[in-house]
Amino acid sequence: MINVRHLSKHYTSGIVNKRLTRAVDGVNLSVPKGSVFGLTGESGCGKTTLAMLILRLVEPTAGSITIDGKDITRLGKRALNRLRPDYQIIWQNPDTSLSPRLPLKDSIMEPLRYYARVRRKDEAAILSRCCKMAELPESLLGRYPHEVSGGENQRAVITRLLTLRPTLLIADEPTSSLDVLVQAQILELLKRIQKQLAFTMLFISHDLQAIGFMCDRVAVMRNGKIIESGACGQVLSAPRTPYCRELVDNAFRPWRFAS
Ligand SMILES: Nc1ncnc2c1ncn2[C@@H]1O[C@H](COP(=O)(O)OP(=O)(O)OP(=O)(O)O)[C@@H](O)[C@H]1O
């Protein structure tokens, strides 16, 4: 579904001493339709920039991105806007994804109304169905984000994207702001709805255990480049590069406590 070719994003910062950051540097990537593709690597390696490039939330310095056969780097604003509801993203922190001034229900319904995808009289049934899928109790819909837990806010974010029935979901560290128990519940939820609706998912995480649980394939980034990719089981059980071996060793090494 996604085909990324020679994609780069370079940032220049500083006024006197200009510094070039190659956030994404010549990346090639293919994500099959309906699969869950993991993207991992240490902080600052370029994962979020790659996600933002794929959704064209930032403009590339070079390269092309094709989604479902459309080169989205060449689309005009209007054509891109028509596709926006199909390509959704979940960010790390649900608190910043929801308006603090709106009850959950209004935040959830906003994109559906904006894109006018359904008739007004069908909205309540859609809301109810999506709440059920995301396991968000409807009794919370009148509350504001600060009146519910982080996990419930993330469920509201998931309910909102479900109303649009996306064909592509990018989940950028969707559980890293949540406590461990809630993390597991949200991962299980994402896995279940992905299976049910069969959308393509790009799952970004530092957590290799989460990657192992969620993904069919995985790519490891370092300094803006993909240094290893393949079937998730193969990369996590027999990484080829010394860098990936170290990442895997650290991720699965049991904690040792001082006696
Ligand atoms: N707008 C920007 N201007 C300048 N540099 C940027 C900008 N956005 C990101 N960068 C730099 O690009 C590099 C990649 O950043 P990015 O956020 O994509 O990394 P990441 O792998 O997602 O990190 P994390 O896991 O911590 O979220 C970093 O060195 C970052 O400082």
Centre of ligand 1 to C-alpha 8, Å, is 13
Please tell me the least confidently modeled range out of 56-60, 62-66, 180-184, 247-251.
Answer: 247-251
- For the segment 33-54, what is each residue's pLDDT rounded down to a tens digit? 999 999 999 999 999 999 999 9
CATH superfamily of 2-252: P-loop containing nucleotide triphosphate hydrolases (3.40.50.300)
Please identify, by atom number, the ligand 1 atom nearest to the C-alpha of residue 48. 22
Q: Which atom of ligand 1 is nearest to the CA of 49?
A: 18
What does each C-alpha distance from 207 to 121, 148, 160, 173, 178 come to in angstroms?
Answer: 42, 26, 25, 9, 13
Break the chain into its structural domains and give their ranges: 2-252
Asked if the ipTM is above 0.90, the reply is yes
Rg of the Cα trace of the chain? 19
Q: How far is the CA of 161 from the centre of ligand 1 (A)?
A: 25
Q: Is the pLDDT reported for residue 16 higher than 90?
A: no
Q: Give the per-residue pLDDT at 257.
A: 66
What are the distances in angstroms from CA 91 to CA 142, 146, 190, 232, 243? 23, 17, 13, 23, 27
Q: Whose CA is nearest to atom 14 of ligand 1?
A: 46
Asked if the model's pLDDT at residue 95 lies above 90, the reply is: no
Question: Whose alpha carbon is nearest atom 13 of ligand 1?
Answer: 23
Q: What is the pLDDT of residues 50-71, one digit of tens each?
A: 999 999 999 999 999 999 999 9
Confidence of residue 259 (pLDDT cuts 50, 70, 90): low
User: For the whole model, what pTM was predicted?
Assistant: 0.93
| Portion of the chain with pLDDT greater than 70, in percent | 98
